[in-house]
Amino acid sequence: MHHHPSRTRRRSAAVLVAAGAALLSAALVAPAGHATPAGGSGGHEHHGHALPYRDATLPTATRVADLLGRMTLQEKVGQMTQAERGDVAADPSLVTTWGLGSLLSGGGSVPDPNTPAAWADMVDTFQRAALQTRLGIPILYGVDSVHGHGNLLSATVFPHNIGLGATRDPRLVRKVGAITAEETRASGPQWTFAPCVCVARDDRWGRTYESFGEDPNLVESMETIIDGLQGKPGQLDQSRHVLATAKHFAGDGLTSYDATKAGTGAYPIDQGVDQVDRATFDRLALAPYWPAVQQHHVGSVMPSFSSVDWTEDGLGNPIKMHANRELITGVLKGAMGFDGLVVSDWQAIRQLPGDYRTQVATSVDAGVDLFMEPYSGSSVGAPDFIATLVGLVQDHTVPMNRIDDAVSRILTAKFELGLFEHPFTDRSHLDDIGSPEHRAVARRAVQESQVLLKNDSGTLPLDADHPVYVAGSNADNIGNQAGGWTLTWQGGSTNVIPGQTILDGIRHADAQVTYSEDAGAPVPAGADGIVVVGETPYAEGFGDVGGPQWAYDPGDHGVPRPAKTMELSDADKAAVAKVCAEAASCTVVVVSGRPVVIDPSLLGQIDALVAAWLPGSEGEGVADVVFGTAGFTGRLPVTWPRSVSQEPINVGDADYDPLYPFGWGLRTEG
Cβ proximity of 130 and 94 under 8 Å: no
CA distances from residue 435 to 104, 176, 262, 543, 592 in whole angstroms, order as listed: 25, 13, 43, 32, 26
CA distances from residue 436 to 131, 154, 192, 347 in whole angstroms, order as listed: 36, 12, 23, 38
pLDDT value of residue 17:
36
Cβ proximity of 424 and 124 under 8 Å: yes
Mean pLDDT by groups of 10 residues along the chain of 670 residues: 40 36 38 35 52 98 98 98 97 98 97 98 98 98 98 98 99 98 98 98 96 98 98 96 98 81 57 91 98 98 94 76 98 98 98 97 98 90 97 98 98 98 98 98 99 98 97 98 96 95 97 97 98 96 81 57 90 98 98 97 98 98 98 98 96 97 96
User: Kindly report the CA angle at 582 between 579 and 586, in degrees rounded to 5?
Assistant: 50
Q: Max Cα separation, the chain?
A: 88
Strands 102-105 and 140-143: parallel
pLDDT value of residue 296:
98
Determine if the pTM surpasses 0.75: yes
pLDDT value of residue 541:
86
Helices 382-394 and 356-366: crossing angle in degrees, nearest 10, is: 70
pLDDT in tens, 475-493: 999 999 999 999 999 999 9
pLDDT value of residue 27:
33
pLDDT value of residue 25:
37
592 Cβ neighbours under 8 A, 6+ residues apart: 534, 535, 611, 612, 613, 614
Q: What are phi and psi of 246, to 5 degrees?
A: -85, 130
User: Which domains does the chain show, CATH number per domain?
Assistant: 60-72+102-342+403-431 (3.20.20.300), 450-646 (3.40.50.1700)
Helix or strand (DSSP H, E) at 443: helix 436-449
Which among 601, 634, 642 is positioned nearest to 615, based on CA atoms? 634
| Strand, coil or helix: 403 | helix
CA 298 to chain centre: 15
Distance CA 366, CA 545 (A): 32
Helix or strand (DSSP H, E) at 46: strand 45-46
Could you tell me which residues are beta bridge partners of residue 500? 618
The three-state DSSP-derived secondary structure of 480-519 is HHHCCCECECCCCCCCCCCCECHHHHHHHHCCCEEECCCC
- Kindly list the catalytic residues: 345, 540
CA 555 to chain centre: 18
